[in-house]
Amino acid sequence: MKKSVKLLLSAMLLLSLTLSGVIFAGCWDDEQQTSYHNDKKEETMKDIVFLTIGSTTLKATLAETEAARELKSRLPITVNLHDYGGWEKVGEFGFDLPESDEPITAEPCDFVLYQGNQLVIFYGSNSWNYTRLGKIQDVSATQLKQILGDGDVSVIVSLSVD
């Protein structure tokens, strides 16, 4: 009887998450091959942008933050990124965006605003106060790390694939 109740509750939870849009394609952990689930703010993202790194263009969804809306209004832009901490690439925009920092555990494929003027793209995980900008879609953490490579790299953030 307990097993049946657990199965029923699990099925109801899965159906609820699926219908509410919590499950979506995003960046996934290579070892587990599971999609990351994000909080409600990320679930309702609608705006698409593209990040071009070398010859690879990645699709991303923007967060519903004032900083993400302002960033979108300034596109296209190029940001030069460098490695930091072994889990992220960081670079200055050259302008400030509105901050709405909150404690976040960033995961691979998240990109955030740091200190109001820096773009951070995560290929690992880190907890800190950031303003959400968006999430890169349809690529694994390992693939993203390979695309970003070692050392400095330029990323073009744009509204279309050129």
Give the separation between CA 97 and CA 118, rounded to whole angstroms: 9
Could you tell me how many helices (H) and strands (E) the chain has, helices first? 4, 11
pLDDT at 31: 45
pLDDT in tens, 27-78: 645 444 333 344 444 444 368 999 999 999 999 999 999 999 999 999 999 9
Kind plus residue range of the DSSP H or E element containing 3: helix 2-20
Encode pLDDT of 65-101 as tens digits: 999 999 999 999 999 999 998 899 999 999 999 999 9
What was the pLDDT predicted at 86?
87
Least Cα distance to 145 among 61, 76, 53, 60 occurs for 53
Residue among 161, 150, 157 at smallest CA distance from 134: 157
Continuous H helices in 44-140: 66-73
Q: Which helix (H) or strand (E) holds 142?
A: helix 141-148
Q: Would the pTM count as exceeding 0.75? A: no
> What are the sequence ranges of the domains in the chain?
25-158
Residue 147's Cβ-count burial label (10 Å; 0-12, 13-18, 19+) is buried
Question: For the stretch 32-44, what's the b/e string if a residue is b when 16 or more beta carbons lie within 10 angstroms of its beta carbon?
Answer: eeeebebeeebee
Q: Ranked by mean pLDDT, which of 4-8, 41-45, 82-86, 131-135 comes out on top?
A: 131-135
Query: Over the stretch 99-122, which tens digit does the pLDDT of each residue have?
Result: 999 999 999 999 999 999 999 999
CATH topology of domain 25-158: Cyclophilin (2.40.100)
- Categorize the per-residue pLDDT at 14 as very low, low, confident or very high, splitting at 50, 70 and 90: very low
Which two three-digit tokens encode residue 143?
């693939």
